[in-house]
């Protein structure tokens, strides 16, 4: 039985840019990646966090065949997963290595192209464009490109998906089923999500303002974030931290809303902290789910007060940087949380001015150094009440 699972590699692409280095640079500079949508036309006026490269440009960066089409979700995921593997310095040959990839959109961006043509003329549209529609198609393609043959699966639990992928990967290594896992999530912007979230009335036409009294909705984003998880026997170039705690719980309240008491969020955070062995006052930073919707921020804030009382640790939502990347959120924000732990920073909650009445909490508003952070907590909560929290534990002293 493996006692500890390390994070030996990181990979990320988001509205902040391509690669973990640029994420760190922009987080420290408090520079948002949000802006007007330019990837495709829509009737909705929205602010989003889009990756500033076309799908074809990213496919070319990855050396993929120019005569093939790829879903944006697949290309984003492969870019981040390849970086995590390369960062680890591990050759997967001969290892029992798995890929656990999360997504909620799948290949919807390509499917939309087919249906727009098909609905106009039933003799039009290339059926081949539907091959990558299924969420598992991106995982299968990534598995092949990464040279992984030990295990692969796909998780779709809405916005908690990537945290659940990391949790499952950690559990499989602990159980001795795998030596290492590349785990995280990928999602791309598409008309389906823009239209869907607009129909729910939770898109902010301006930049999102998590935990602010004036908050009125979220900004959608896209990107991918993956961790290279490994047992201590697998030697990596880096040991960023260990996965010390994790828990999944369900609010069991509503299809798209959380309860006023934040029951699912409370149970997930409490379970992850209890497993980690940390006292609650030893959590140095919380990367909250913090979507900027009135319901989420109130519910999550109440849940934090239930756990920490009047001594809530430094916390912030980083969705003011990237937008809400849906199924990829846990992967992207786990990378951000680990960067906080490893380099000793707490990230600012952009666009905050006044606290909400339900919890009266004030997040971190400026980027600042915080030495000797022992543990960080990150939350990802999804539709259907699916809530997952992770705790990362420092392995060695901060580096900057």
Position 400 in a domain: no
Q: Are residues 47 and 93 in the same domain?
A: yes
Residue 237 located in a structural domain: no
Q: Is the dihedral of CA 288, 289, 293, 294 positive or negative?
A: negative
- DSSP type of residue 281: G
> Are residues 383 and 268 located together in one domain of the fold?
yes
**What are 34-90's pLDDT values in tens digits?**
999 999 888 888 999 999 999 999 999 999 999 888 999 999 999 999 999 999 999
The domain containing residue 72 runs over which residues? 6-230
Q: Residue 235 falls within a domain, yes or no?
A: no
- Could you tell me the pTM of the whole model? 0.95
Q: What's the mean pLDDT in 234-258?
A: 89
CATH number at residue 311: 3.40.47.10
Pair (179, 302) in one structural domain:
no
In a domain, residue 238? The reply is: no
Residues 215 and 364 in one domain: no
Q: What is the pLDDT of residue 129?
A: 64
- Name the nearest CA neighbour of 233 among 181, 180, 171, 167: 180
pLDDT of residue 265: 95
Mean pLDDT computed over 327-349: 98
Strand partners, 187: 223
259 and 226 in one domain?
A: no
- At 42 the pLDDT is 86
Contact (Cβ atoms closer than 8 angstroms) between residue 14 and residue 322: yes
Condensed to tens digits (0 to 9), the pLDDT of residues 191-212 reads 989 998 998 889 999 999 999 9
Looking at residue 398, its pLDDT comes to 45
Q: Tell me what the mean pLDDT of segment 288-304 comes to.
A: 94
Residue with the two structure tokens 């919380």: 286
Q: Which residue has the tokens 């030996």?
A: 8
Which residues of the chain form beta strands (DSSP E)?
6-14, 17-18, 35-36, 47-48, 97-102, 151-155, 180-187, 223-230, 241-250, 283-287, 315-316, 345-346, 368-369, 375-381, 386-394
pLDDT at 371 over 90: no
pLDDT digits (tens, 9 = 90+) for 114-137: 667 767 776 666 656 667 677 788
Q: What is the pLDDT of residue 115?
A: 65
The answer on pLDDT for 233 being more than 60 is: yes
**Which of 206, 230, 254 is the C-terminal boundary of a domain?**
230
| Burial class for 233, CB neighbours closer than 10 Å (0-12, 13-18, 19+) | exposed
pLDDT level of residue 279 (50, 70, 90 thresholds): very high
Q: Are residues 101 and 210 in the same domain?
A: yes
Query: Is 252 in contact with 19 (CB distance < 8 Å)?
Result: no
- Check residue 251 and give its pLDDT: 82
Confidence of residue 400 (pLDDT cuts 50, 70, 90): very low
Per the listing, tokens 């959590």 go with 283
What is the rounded average pLDDT of the residues 330-359?
A: 96
| SS3 state at 139 | helix
Taking only the tens place, the pLDDT of each residue in 135-183 is 788 999 999 999 998 899 999 998 999 999 999 999 999 999 999 999 9
Distance of CA 257 to the CA centre of its chain: 19
CA distance 145 to 319: 30
Instruction: Name the domain count of the chain.
Output: 2
Q: Supply the mean pLDDT for the chain.
A: 92
φ, ψ for residue 128 (rounded to 5)? -60, -25
CA dihedral 90, 94, 95, 99 (to 10 degrees): 80
């Amino acid at each position: 039985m493996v006692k500890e699972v390390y994070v030996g590699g990181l990979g990320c692409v988001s509205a902040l840019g391509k690669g973990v280095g640029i994420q760190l640079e922009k987080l420290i500079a408090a520079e948002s990646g949000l802006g007007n949508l330019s990837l495709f036309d829509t009737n909705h006026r929205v602010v989003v966090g889009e990756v500033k490269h076309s799908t074809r440009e990213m496919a070319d960066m990855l050396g993929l065949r120019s005569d093939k089409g790829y879903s944006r979700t697949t290309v984003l995921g492969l870019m981040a997963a390849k970086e995590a593997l390369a960062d680890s310095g591990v050759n997967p040959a001969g290892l029992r290595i798995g890929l656990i990839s999360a997504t909620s959109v799948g290949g919807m961006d390509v499917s939309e192209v087919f249906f727009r043509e098909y609905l106009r003329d039933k003799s039009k549209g290339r059926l081949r464009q539907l091959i990558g529609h299924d969420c598992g198609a991106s995982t299968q393609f990534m598995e092949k490109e990464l040279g992984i043959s030990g295990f692969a699966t796909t998780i779709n639990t809405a916005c908690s998906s990537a945290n659940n992928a990391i949790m499952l990967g950690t559990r499989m290594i602990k159980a001795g089923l795998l030596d290492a896992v590349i785990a995280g999530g990928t999602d791309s912007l598409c008309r389906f999500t823009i239209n869907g979230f607009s129909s729910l009335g939770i898109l902010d036409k301006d930049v999102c303002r998590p935990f602010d009294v004036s908050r009125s909705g979220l900004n959608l984003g896209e990107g991918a974030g993956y961790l290279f998880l490994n047992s201590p026997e697998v030697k990596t170039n880096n040991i960023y931290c260990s996965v010390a705690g994790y828990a999944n719980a369900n609010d069991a309240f509503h299809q798209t809303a959380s309860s006023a008491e934040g029951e699912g969020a409370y149970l997930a955070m409490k379970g992850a902290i209890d497993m980690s062995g940390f006292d609650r006052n030893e959590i140095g930073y919380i990367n909250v789910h913090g979507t900027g919707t009135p319901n989420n921020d109130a519910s999550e804030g109440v849940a934090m007060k239930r756990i920490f009382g009047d001594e809530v640790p430094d916390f912030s939502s980083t969705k003011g940087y990237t937008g809400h990347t849906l199924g990829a959120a846990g992967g992207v924000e786990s990378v951000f949380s680990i960067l906080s732990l490893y380099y000793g920073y707490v990230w600012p909650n952009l666009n905050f001015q006044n606290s909400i009445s339900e919890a009266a909490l004030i997040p971190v508003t400026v980027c600042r150094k915080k030495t000797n952070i022992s543990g960080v907590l990150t939350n990802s909560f999804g539709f259907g009440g699916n809530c997952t929290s992770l705790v990362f534990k420092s392995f060695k002293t901060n580096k900057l």
